[in-house]
């Protein structure tokens, strides 16, 4: 039990003032602008938007600056901010099929409509530190090529046409879309609530679980059917007008994982799927999400639940880094009263322990005396 | 469908396009186009500008069950201009000045006397800028299109 404490106001105020100075660092060095953070540390901004569950690059950049680059702290700031705002409504489901693609790859088809588009990727770099970047040397403008003007067809549609892969089941359209920010969590969760939880889940936690499935803890034989990154229109119904309007665009990363086929007496063998959809350019997270989504479909697909990644309550109740950090970090707050009670208890138990030990020793000695006397 | 319905339908499609183009435009480009029109109507705020959130939905597997991916910040405003026309705007982000400008332009476009100017000086140029930016991105992406060759494994 936690009992509140009072006092320490001056020390706390001074600590926060010290924090502000340390955050700023050397005053002779120019301060970072939000444009610099959003423009040059954009993948950190994307991660904070995704796990903070709020798409706003400027606010995410501000959160990163305020948190001194501590991304979980920045996520916390963004989550706290979103609770202060009213919700106008929801978008129409975004159509990733109409994405303005800046990267699109498939690991299962070499040649496919729309092509393999590497885009701005770390893949195939040598991971050697570049001393040039210590300065601010000018960068070559990107090379351009001729846009083939092909439709970037979903890989799942190519497989789906032959019936080789399961369809995305459309649940009852009249059922409201789950929202874990509005409704208390209940297990088992439906897939919409699971996907929402995973989309804002901690990248490191989901990455480790995804890795565990590859190492044999709920193996699912995954292939990257497709990863696509790019911008999608956000369309919202405006009640005053009676039609939808695009209110802007958001960048998304989508991963379609294609997993080992299965069949049953009722269904012919076909590939199964895991899905990942994350704000911004967040390929690792989207891949981890799709592997975890597939693992969590174990009971739906009639698989034995044998590994942590398949345990819905374990995965979904521990993947939120704001919840996790809140509970872990609260341990450092004053627990004086709590600990005092524990101290008293341990002292009493020790006293009882030693008392019992002395009594037992006395009894043994007494027994020995009696035995000696009998002899 | 009657002629009137048809016209309303066209009006709705035009207004949808206008609001979408303006919402997606950058604040700087929008303001630059606006200044070129030299329009300066009197504006009465009917609602807002108000900042809030819009829940973003995706679909499982891309085409299946809708789910919430997260939220996006948004700003909405409703205005009435001197001519009596009412304009609405909802844009992503927190730029209330941009939202207000979008609503004012939406209201002006309801006025047949101004609609042509709005289309010519604001909507069409912004739409062109957007498609040029997309085309540039597509061309830069096209340069990274790769053809992988599968290597033959074995003795020969």
Which residues have C-beta within 8 Å of that of residue B34, sequence separation ≥ 6? B101, B105, B122
- Cα–Cα distance between A343 and A322 in angstroms, integer? 31
Q: What is the mean pLDDT of residues B116-143?
A: 95
Q: What are phi and psi of B66, to 5 degrees?
A: -65, 145
Position B4 scores a pLDDT of: 52
CA distance A92 to chain B (A): 6
Domain ranges (residues) in chain B:
6-128
Three-point CA angle B112, B114, B115, nearest 5° = 65
Evaluate whether A250 touches B92 at the Cβ level (below 8 Å).
Answer: yes
Position A85 scores a pLDDT of: 95
pLDDT tens-digit readout, B102-120: 999 999 999 998 999 999 9
What's the start-to-end Cα distance of chain A, in Å?
Answer: 58
Q: Which of B23, B60, B62 lies nearest to residue A97, judging by beta carbons? A: B62
- What is chain B's mean pLDDT, rounded? 90
Q: Inter-chain contact B138–A100, Cβ cutoff 8 Å?
A: yes
CA A111 to chain centre: 32
Is A7 or B15 the better-scoring residue by pLDDT?
A: B15
- DSSP label at residue A157: H
Whether residue B144 is preceded by a cis peptide bond, meaning omega within 30 degrees of 0, is no
| Nearest residue to A238 via CA among A88, A338, A137 | A88
Position A166 scores a pLDDT of: 83
Does B8 have pLDDT greater than 80? Answer: no
Q: Which of B64, B93, B137 lies nearest to residue A56, judging by beta carbons? A: B93
B143 CB within 8 Å of a chain A CB: yes
- Using only C-alpha atoms, chain A has a radius of gyration, in whole angstroms, of 28
pLDDT tens-digit readout, B135-153: 999 999 999 998 766 666 6
Chain B contact set for A294 (CB, 8 A): none
- DSSP label at residue B37: H
What sign does the CA torsion over A86, A88, A92, A95 have?
Answer: negative
CA distance A349 to chain B (A): 51
Q: Inter-chain contact B57–A90, Cβ cutoff 8 Å?
A: yes
Evaluate whether A291 touches A219 at the Cβ level (below 8 Å).
Answer: no
Please give the residue of chain B at the shortest CA–CA distance from A111: B147
Q: Inter-chain contact A273–B61, Cβ cutoff 8 Å?
A: yes
Domain ranges (residues) in chain A:
9-82, 96-122+148-319
- Cα–Cα distance between B68 and A192 in angstroms, integer? 7
- Cα–Cα distance between B23 and B127 in angstroms, integer? 11
- Cα–Cα distance between A330 and A120 in angstroms, integer? 40
Count of A-B CB contacts under 8 Å: 238
Q: What is the mean pLDDT of residues B62-83?
A: 95
Please give the residue of chain B at the shortest CA–CA distance from A254: B62
CA distance B137 to chain A (A): 7
Evaluate whether A269 touches A163 at the Cβ level (below 8 Å).
Answer: no
The residues in B 66-125 lying below 8 A from A, measured between CB atoms, are 66-74, 76, 78, 88, 90-94
CA distance A305 to chain B (A): 22
Strands A87-90 and B43-59: parallel
Q: Which of A53, A88, A117 lies nearest to residue B144, judging by beta carbons? A: A117
Q: Inter-chain contact B59–A100, Cβ cutoff 8 Å?
A: no
Q: Inter-chain contact B72–A248, Cβ cutoff 8 Å?
A: yes
Q: Inter-chain contact A116–B16, Cβ cutoff 8 Å?
A: no
Residue spans of chain A under pLDDT 50:
none
| Nearest residue to A165 via CA among A267, A251, A248 | A267
Tokens of A287: 């891949």
Chain A contact set for B144 (CB, 8 A): 103, 117-119, 145
Position A234 scores a pLDDT of: 98
B5 CB within 8 Å of a chain A CB: no
Strands B66-81 and A87-90: unpaired
Please give the residue of chain B at the shortest CA–CA distance from A234: B56
Please give the residue of chain B at the shortest CA–CA distance from A273: B61
Q: Which of A96, A181, A192 lies nearest to residue B62, judging by beta carbons? A: A96
Q: What is the mean pLDDT of residues B57-77?
A: 95
| Nearest residue to B17 via CA among B105, B94, B76 | B105
- Cα–Cα distance between A60 and A34 in angstroms, integer? 9
Chain B contact set for A244 (CB, 8 A): 16
- Cα–Cα distance between A317 and A314 in angstroms, integer? 6
Q: What are phi and psi of A346, to 5 degrees?
A: -65, -40
CA distance A289 to chain B (A): 12
- Please state, for a pLDDT cut of 70, what percent of chain B lies above it: 88
Evaluate whether A270 touches A300 at the Cβ level (below 8 Å).
Answer: no
Strand, coil or helix: A289: helix
CA distance B93 to chain A (A): 7
Does B155 have pLDDT greater than 80? Answer: no
């Amino acid at each position: 039990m936690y009992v509140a404490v009072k006092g320490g106001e001056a020390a706390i105020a001074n600590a926060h003032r010290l924090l502000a100075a340390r955050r700023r660092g050397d005053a002779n060095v120019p301060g970072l602008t939000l444009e610099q953070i959003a423009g040059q540390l954009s993948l950190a901004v994307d991660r904070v938007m995704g796990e903070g569950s709020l798409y706003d690059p400027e606010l995410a950049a501000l959160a990163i600056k305020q948190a001194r680059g501590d991304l979980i702290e920045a996520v916390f700031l963004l989550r706290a901010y979103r609770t202060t705002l009213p919700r106008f409504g929801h978008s129409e489901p975004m159509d990733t099929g109409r994405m303005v693609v800046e990267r699109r790859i498939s690991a299962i088809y070499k040649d496919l409509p729309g092509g393999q588009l590497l885009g701005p990727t770390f893949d195939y770099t040598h991971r050697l530190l570049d001393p040039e970047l210590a300065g601010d040397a000018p960068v070559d403008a990107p090379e351009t090529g001729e846009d083939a003007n092909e439709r970037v067809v979903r890989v799942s549609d190519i497989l789906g046409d032959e019936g080789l892969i399961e369809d995305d089941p459309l649940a009852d359209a009249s059922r409201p879309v789950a929202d874990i920010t509005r409704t208390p969590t209940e297990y088992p969760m439906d897939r919409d609530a699971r996907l929402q939880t995973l989309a804002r889940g901690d990248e490191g936690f989901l990455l480790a679980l995804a890795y565990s499935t590859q190492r044999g803890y709920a193996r699912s034989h995954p292939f990257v059917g497709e990863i696509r990154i790019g911008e999608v229109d956000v369309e919202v119904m405006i009640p005053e007008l009676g039609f939808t309007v695009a209110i802007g665009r958001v960048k998304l990363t989508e991963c379609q994982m294609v997993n080992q086929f299965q069949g049953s007496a009722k269904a012919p063998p076909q590939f199964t799927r895991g899905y990942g959809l994350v704000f911004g350019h967040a390929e690792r997270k989207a891949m981890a999400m799709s592997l975890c989504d597939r693992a969590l479909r174990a009971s739906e697909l009639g698989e034995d639940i044998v590994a942590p990644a398949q345990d819905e309550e374990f995965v979904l109740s521990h993947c939120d880094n704001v919840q996790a950090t809140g509970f872990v970090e609260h341990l450092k707050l004053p627990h004086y009263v709590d600990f005092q009670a524990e101290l008293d208890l341990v002292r009493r138990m020790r006293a009882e322990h030693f008392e019992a030990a002395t009594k037992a020793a006395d009894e043994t000695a007494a027994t020995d005396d009696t035995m000696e006397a009998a002899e | 469908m009657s002629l009137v319905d048809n016209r309303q339908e066209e009006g709705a499609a035009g207004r949808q396009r206008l609001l979408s183009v303006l919402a997606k435009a950058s604040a700087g480009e929008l303001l630059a186009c606006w200044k070129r029109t030299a329009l300066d109507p009197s504006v009465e705020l009917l609602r807002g500008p108000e900042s809030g959130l819009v829940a973003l939905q995706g679909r499982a597997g891309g085409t299946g069950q809708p789910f919430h991916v997260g939220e996006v910040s948004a700003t909405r405003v409703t205005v009435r201009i001197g001519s009596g026309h009412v304009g609405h705007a909802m844009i992503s982000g927190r730029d209330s000045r941009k939202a207000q400008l979008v609503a004012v332009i939406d209201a002006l476009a309801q006025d047949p006397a101004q609609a042509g100017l709005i289309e010519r000086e604001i909507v069409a140029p912004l739409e062109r800028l957007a498609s040029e930016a997309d085309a540039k991105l597509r061309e830069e992406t096209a340069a990274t299109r790769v053809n992988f060759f599968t290597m033959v494994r074995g003795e020969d």
